[in-house]
Amino acid sequence: MSPHLQDDTTNEHPAVTRFREYLRIDTRQPTPDYAGSTEFLIREAKEIGMPYRVVECVKGKPTVIMTFEGEDPSLPALLLNSHTDVVPVFPEMWTQDPMGANKVDGFIYARGSQDMKCVGISYLEVLRRYRLEGRKPLQEEVGGVEGMKLLVHHEEFKRLNVAFALDEGIASPKDALKVFYGERMPWWIKITATGPTGHGSQFIKDTAPTKLLKVIEKFMNLRNEQEKLLEVGLHHNGQRYTLGDVTTINLTFMQSGIQYNVIPMEATCGFDIRVSPFFDMKEFQAKIEGFVSSQPGVTMEFVNGHFDNTLTAIDESNIWWTVFSEACKGMNVEYETEIFP
């Protein structure tokens, strides 16, 4: 049976129509249409009847904060966080327009449909339903965020009085929902090697590319160890390891040379590393710094590095977890706890 494109929204649930409209706003990096997404979110806030404000910690990167006031506004708030930007696409690899939000046989195709406009619109639709039903939950805040690291130090964030926050997750392919109580720390590192230059017809010792390749080999060996651990690792309860339990290391770029017959004086590469919270971060950092220092004339810099791998308690010591888990049980919703990959 050939695919059936469903563009008619006459019989479509309004929530789905709004979701598709949100998806069509082109917020692809590196030039996201933040003006368009901000306009959409402000319209949603007005329709739902939520006061809102827009904060720019960085010019041109707005944060939209909406407030749904509960029965006792003096209580600490629950923060619902959702970013509006999406990653770039390779249109030639898509069967549908990646920004078209086309619905084919009931499936919606669009960049951001999983990460994470689906979550942002879900927050809004729940609050919309609460408003229509006249319900007043505990005070909640919805933020569509770019620059959360800066926002948490802003006076506007302090006003929110946040006690607990929910952020992005992953759509589950199974009936059991995935609940993430921690995440791996992203480290983007740039490694630069320097060495002697010369003509490509010679044997020159300790060139920049040669030294860089030796360092890369050490990283790739560690990568292979972690990949193997993912295949065979088991938790104490017998459950298999998931991606969030191990550290991934991926070589994402290499740069060197300007001409075929000239040995370059410099060679660089970049790694995307996601450090498991079960790793001792100081020990791991010392380990990779040792890889780099094993070759003279090779240096490393953190382009992006996060070093707080605190986990959320998922037992009775955490009242928020107790409320969440009991609500799931009350609705017969199965869940699995994991580390966000």
Residues annotated as catalytic are 85, 140
Q: Which residues of 23-41 are buried (b: 16+ CB within 10 A; e: fewer)?
A: bbbebbeeebebeebbebb
Distance CA 145, CA 81 (A): 7
- CB distance 170 to 184 below 8 Å: no
Closest CA to 339 of 230, 217, 238: 230
Distance CA 107, CA 3 (A): 10
Distance CA 4, CA 336 (A): 35
Residue 148: asked if its preceding bond is cis (omega within 30°), the reply is no
Structure tokens at 14: 């309004």
For strand 266-275 and strand 185-194, is the pairing parallel, antiparallel, or unpaired? Answer: antiparallel
* DSSP H/E element including 267: strand 266-275
- CB distance 291 to 219 below 8 Å: yes
- CB distance 116 to 168 below 8 Å: yes
- CB distance 257 to 193 below 8 Å: no
How many angstroms separate the first and last alpha carbons of the chain? 36
- SS3 label, residue 280: coil
Where in 277-334 does DSSP place strands (E)?
298-305
